[in-house]
Amino acid sequence: MSIVKNGIGSAGWVSGDIAIDLGTANTLIWVRSKGIIINEPSIIARNINDGSVLAVGKEASLMVGKTHRDIETICPLKDGVIADFEATDGMLLGFVKKINFSPIARFKMVICVPSGVTGVERKAVRDSAERANGKEVYLIEEPVAAAIGIGIDISRPVGNMIVDIGGGTSEIAVIALNGVVTKETIKIAGHEMDEAIVQWFRNEHKLDVGEPTAEKIKIKVGSAMRMDETPIQIRGRDLVSGIPKTVEVSSDEIRQALKDCVTQIVDVIKRALEKTPPELAVDILERGIILTGGGSMLKGLDQNIRERTNLPANLSERPLTDVVRGTGMVLSDIKKYTDVLL
């Protein structure tokens, strides 16, 4: 008989049920008694000829833009939902192997999905989870999981507005009494910001840069408000000569590149506010808007939202892990959170 202590089986296998934030940009996995043990890019590298999986997560991300004709790198999720079923299966199985579960273990899973996900999309997630050894699979909407992870008591008759800006979608939800009262989703988030920067360099500097470079630029000098000027050197391929070159750009240029994305996100927040019942709107006026997700960390975004909505807006303390922590809390007490499961 296997003896389990602190989540480790007698043969060195990890044991315990798991919570998964299956994101467009990153996948995070929380294991009961262990906490967050996977936080890696949602990407897979596979052999084009036979479909075999060569790498997942961090290892696969290092191959982006550097593969030969027999290897492809794929992001299996698009706009928060599964776009490539086979690749998603391979990615989930790859992550589960990294955790070092027993190959015969079957475990309970709670997986977060975008709000408004269709029945077909829910089934696709459940099927992938079951093929990755899921015994019981539950789903929860991302903004609800984020609210729980932030520490909000969602069972109370009090309105809370959560703005979750991930890699593929920005989701806005007003939550009260264990349910989503008002929700809006827009397919403008971190990846679209990166693409906007790529296009800016192509149009303004005739320079070709990859999305990984664009993401680094966004993190370093990207902003939603005017900041101190910070010039940076960017390397890429000259679209005219085809030769690598370096250009210097200012942080203000990157702000301009991101302006449309920011405007669209704030507009959808305002649309959600317009649909919110008056009594809950008063709660939001008092409690403010809470921002979470990697995209919410764009410098000055909270200030931009405050100025355009005239409401308090604050970034959560752990925007990158709120969703998976909340999903883990639900996993730890399924009975308590039955009403919020899909």
pLDDT in tens, 74-89: 999 887 788 888 898 8
Position 102 scores a pLDDT of 67
Q: Is the pLDDT of residue 5 over 70?
A: no
Position 9 scores a pLDDT of 43
Tokens of 229: 């000027």
Determine which of 66-70, 149-153, 302-306 has the lowest per-residue pLDDT on average.
66-70
Higher pLDDT, 8 or 222: 222
Position 15 scores a pLDDT of 59
Who's near 260: CB < 8 A, 6+ residues apart?
196
Q: Is the pLDDT of residue 122 over 80?
A: yes
CATH number of 18-145+323-340: 3.30.420.40
d(CA 243, CA 342): 52
Q: Is the pLDDT of residue 1 over 80?
A: no
User: 103 pLDDT band (50/70/90 cuts)?
Assistant: low
Please compute the mean of the pLDDT values over residues 62-84 and round it to a whole number: 88
- Give phi and psi for 105, each to the nearest 5: -70, 140
d(CA 183, CA 162): 9
Position 300 scores a pLDDT of 96
Percentage of the chain lying above the pLDDT 90 cut: 72
Indicate the pairing of strand 44-47 with strand 170-176.
Answer: unpaired
User: 134 pLDDT band (50/70/90 cuts)?
Assistant: confident
Q: Is the pLDDT of residue 11 over 50?
A: no
User: 13 pLDDT band (50/70/90 cuts)?
Assistant: low
User: 231 pLDDT band (50/70/90 cuts)?
Assistant: confident
Domains of the chain: which residue ranges? 18-145+323-340
Please compute the mean of the pLDDT values over residues 267-289 and round it to a whole number: 97
pLDDT in tens, 233-245: 999 999 999 999 9
CA distances (Å), origin 259, targets 168, 253, 298: 17, 10, 12
Position 6 scores a pLDDT of 38
Coil, strand or helix at 327: helix
- Give phi and psi for 75, each to the nearest 5: -95, 105
Position 20 scores a pLDDT of 94
Percentage of the chain lying above the pLDDT 70 cut: 94
Please compute the mean of the pLDDT values over residues 135-146 and round it to a whole number: 94
Position 33 scores a pLDDT of 82
Q: What is the dihedral of CA 267, 317, 190, 154, to 10 degrees?
A: -60
Mean pLDDT of the chain: 90
